[in-house]
């Protein structure tokens, strides 16, 4: 299914057969709420440690609706989207986003991320996450410019009007910096958490080399670009201008990203949040290369590029706003042009501390946060139901639950955290799941009934709050 074709609320109960059992009678702890989680026999993957966490949360959090939502949302990726197998003695895990049968490098990393903290207590869960890493490595080696892939390496993509170098097995070829950063983030933290080095073989090292080449080529220092993308479409955000190469940039050390993590085209190709993410990922990759391969030359190249991008961000990404002072732009072109906004998808400016890209007490970040959470951000909406960040991908007045969740995950303010939880609790549209977006005035007007990343991220937020500030869940 095309990413823009959403399951609407009017078709909710028909769609729920994909993600919920037919028996929705109220049972168990949730006497006021229907059982909508997939029956255990129908779940794609069951982790005992995750089930134990759910029971612990249910036992200790007295808010019945939050307990119900946690039970539905936190395991949603495992319940409905993963397919685990072993090929040639290696774990392989295919992860769909929900209602789209394709594996995004970004989404799949983010969907299993919250389970990393539990992996060392469950060997099967550890193997599942290792399988995601192994699968991502093979996808990157197929085409490091592609953002989404099929489980079938011979399947041809549904996009018959895409003018780019499509290969079999590729679902979509929208080049995004974050699509190459997320697999590094997952791999690095898997290694740090479990100590397992089995996924990091010669193919993994080749994938790191491929990522490095893409990032260097996308600095456009030689004035050319090996990547181009156009689509015959009525949606301007789904295609690139100037024969698919985008508007010109001045080579200043930053890395171009043709598309945002929303899969929308950038206006100015130096996408600032993604460049911050690249600095983190290049540094993490260098540490892994040092420890696991001893390839000093590759490690040096990775660190040098990270340092160059970091400096360029300080030189070109900061804009003096008349109201907020120095803030980070969302996109720049190196010529002095900039775009001031934020988008709900991660990486965003709001999410930078979550990605370990910047300290949340950094003054420029604090100014930027104030800006993006205000009506001076053209994609921040306040309505009868909630307030939050949206973006061009779905349209005006549509708030992304993911952005509300990220606001809470990057906050140290108990009042703000509690308000974010309250908004998310009030805007699931009587479905028990998070969605892609909902209308600022009507949570029942939403897009995508089955969007596993939003569900699992919300579960991560609730679990973090439960472990650190449980009083906020009362």
Are 79 and 44 in contact, with CB atoms under 8 Å apart? Answer: yes
Stretch 340-352: mean pLDDT: 98
Query: What is the model's pLDDT at position 24?
Result: 34
Work out the mean pLDDT of the chain and round it to a whole number.
93
d(Cα 134, Cα 127) in Å, to the nearest integer? 10
The mean pLDDT of 222-238, rounded to a whole number, is: 95
The per-residue pLDDT for 449 is 94
Q: Comparing 8-22, 123-137, 168-182, 359-373, which segment has the lowest mean pLDDT?
A: 8-22
Per-residue confidence (pLDDT) for residue 158, from 0 to 100 = 86
| Residues whose CB is less than 8 angstroms from the CB of residue 423 and which lie 6 or more positions away in sequence, other chains included | 385, 386, 387, 388, 404
Q: What percent of the chain has pLDDT over 90?
A: 91
pLDDT greater than 90 at residue 314: yes
Taking Cα atoms as reference points, which of 248, 214, 240 lies closest to residue 332?
A: 248
Of 81, 88, 94, 84, nearest to 151 (Cα)? 94
Q: 29 pLDDT exceeds 60? A: no
Cα–Cα distance, 279 to 469 (Å, whole number): 31
In 220-369, where do the E strands start and end? 230-231, 270-271, 318-321, 325-328, 331-332, 338-339
CA dihedral 146, 150, 151, 155 (to 10 degrees): -120
C-alpha–C-alpha distance, residues 35 and 426, integer Å:
18
Q: What is the pLDDT of residue 31?
A: 58
DSSP state of 90: E
What digits encode the pLDDT tens for the residues 134-163?
999 999 999 999 999 999 999 998 889 999
3-state DSSP assignment of residue 469: coil
Please state the rounded mean pLDDT for residues 191-197: 98
pLDDT at 157: 85
The one-character DSSP state at 322 is: T
pLDDT of 394 over the 90 cut: yes
pLDDT at residue 306 is higher than 70: yes
> What's the predicted TM-score (pTM) here?
0.93
3-state SS class at 284: helix
Q: At what angle do helices 48-60 and 64-73 cross, to 10 degrees?
A: 170
Task: Give the pLDDT of residue 89.
Answer: 87
Note whether 278 and 177 are within 8 A (CB). Answer: yes
Q: What are the helix (H) ranges across 317-398?
A: 363-372
What is the end-to-end Cα distance of the chain in Å, rounded?
39
pLDDT at residue number 270: 98
Helices (H), 195-254: 202-217, 241-244
Region 24-42: mean pLDDT is 71
State the pLDDT confidence band at 77, using cuts at 50, 70 and 90.
Answer: very high
Instruction: Return the pLDDT at 414.
Output: 98
Task: Kindly tell me if the per-residue pLDDT of 9 is higher than 80.
Answer: no
Contact at 8 Å (CB) between 258 and 175? yes
Backbone CA torsion sign across 350, 229, 145, 82 = positive
Residue 18 scores a pLDDT above 50: no
The C-alpha angle 264, 157, 142, rounded to 5 degrees, equals: 85
For tokens 């340092």, the residue is 307
State the Cα–Cα distance between residues 437 and 35, nearest whole angstrom.
23
Instruction: Please report the pLDDT score of residue 11 as a whole number.
Output: 35
Q: Per residue in 347-387, pLDDT tens?
A: 999 999 999 999 999 999 999 999 999 999 999 999 999 99
Q: In the prediction, which pLDDT does 88 show?
A: 86
pLDDT digits (tens, 9 = 90+) for 376-386: 999 999 999 99
Which residues on adjacent β-strands are paired with residue 148?
104, 172
């Amino acid at each position: 299914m095309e990413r823009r074709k959403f399951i609407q609320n009017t078709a909710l109960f028909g769609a729920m057969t994909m993600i919920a059992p037919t028996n929705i009678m109220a049972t168990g702890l949730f006497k006021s709420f229907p059982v909508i989680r997939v029956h255990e026999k129908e779940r794609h993957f069951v982790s005992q440690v995750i089930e134990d966490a759910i029971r612990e949360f249910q036992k200790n959090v007295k808010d019945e609706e939050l307990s119900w939502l946690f039970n539905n949302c936190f395991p949603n990726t495992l319940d409905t989207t993963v397919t685990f197998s072993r090929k040639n003695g290696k774990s392989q895990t295919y992860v769909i986003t929900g209602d789209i049968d394709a594996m995004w490098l970004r989404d799949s990393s983010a969907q299993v991320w919250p389970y990393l903290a539990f992996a060392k207590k469950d060997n099967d869960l550890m193997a599942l996450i290792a399988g995601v890493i192994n699968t991502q490595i093979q996808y990157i080696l197929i085409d490091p410019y592609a953002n989404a892939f099929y489980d079938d390496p011979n399947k041809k993509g549904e996009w018959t009007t895409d003018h780019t170098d499509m290969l079999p097995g590729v679902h979509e070829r929208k080049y995004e910096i974050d699509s190459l950063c997320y697999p590094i983030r997952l791999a690095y933290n898997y290694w740090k958490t479990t100590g397992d080095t089995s996924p990091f073989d010669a193919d993994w090292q080749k994938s790191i080399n491929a990522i490095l080449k893409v990032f260097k080529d996308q600095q456009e220092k030689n004035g050319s670009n090996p990547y181009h993308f156009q689509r015959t479409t009525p949606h301007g955000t789904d295609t690139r201008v100037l024969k698919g190469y985008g508007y010109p940039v001045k080579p200043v050390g930053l890395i171009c990203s043709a598309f945002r993590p929303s899969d929308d085209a950038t206006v100015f190709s130096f996408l600032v949040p993604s460049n911050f993410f690249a600095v983190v990922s290049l540094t993490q990759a260098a540490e892994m290369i040092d420890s696991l391969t001893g390839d000093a030359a590759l490690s040096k190249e990775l660190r040098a590029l990270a340092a160059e991008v970091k400096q360029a961000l300080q030189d070109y990404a900061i804009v003096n706003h008349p109201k907020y002072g120095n803030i980070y732009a969302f996109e720049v072109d190196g010529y002095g042009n900039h775009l001031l906004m934020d988008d709900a998808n991660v990486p965003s400016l709001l999410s930078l501390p979550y990605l370990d890209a910047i300290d949340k007490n950094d003054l420029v970040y604090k100014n930027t946060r104030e800006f993006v959470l205000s009506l001076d951000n053209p994609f921040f909406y306040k309505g009868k139901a909630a307030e939050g960040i949206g973006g061009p991908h779905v349209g005006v007045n549509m708030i992304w639950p993911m952005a509300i969740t990220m606001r809470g995950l990057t906050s140290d303010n108990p009042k703000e955290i509690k308000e974010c939880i309250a908004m998310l609790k009030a805007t699931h549209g009587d479905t028990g799941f998070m969605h892609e977006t909902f209308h600022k005035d009507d949570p029942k007007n939403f897009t995508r009934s089955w969007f596993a990343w939003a569900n699992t991220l919300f579960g991560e937020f609730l679990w973090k709050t439960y472990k650190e500030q449980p009083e906020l869940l009362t």
